[in-house]
Amino acid sequence: MDILELVRTAKIGLERKAAHTETCAPFAAALYDALAENGVETNLAVACRKGYHSDRTWYHLVVEHGGRYYDSLGEFSSEILRKRLKIHPAVQFDLEFKLEPRDGCYEEADYDALHSFLLHAFRRAVNEMNSLKVQL
């Protein structure tokens, strides 16, 4: 399954942007769950900024598959994030990825409805992608 296509096909509206800044954990958990339902083995990983001085620590939960990482905007890497945030090339910047267990990766009491919405959107996108393959 093409994970990048799945992320781009899912109709999640404004949650796509919110998942990049504030609700990355329920997004990543929903994507992980949808992929697991379809037999795709993935991991959750926390991306941590390193080598860039800031007054805040920054973490971002993503889905890992085959050495590549995905978030609500598609593929995720140091180079891609550098472009998204417009970090100057002279600035030392890199990401460190650490595996994270699925259970308890977000506050379920606070984000259960969002997770359900996102999982439903991913299931619909999977169905759309599968029906397109059948037509071809």
With contact defined as beta carbons under 8 Å apart, do 56 and 126 qualify? no
pLDDT in tens, 11-69: 999 999 999 888 999 999 999 999 999 999 999 999 987 765 555 567 899 999 999 99
With contact defined as beta carbons under 8 Å apart, do 27 and 15 qualify? yes
Cα 55 vs. chain centroid, distance in angstroms? 25
Q: Is 66 helix (H, G, I), strand (E, B) or coil?
A: coil
Neighbours of 12 (CB within 10 A): 20
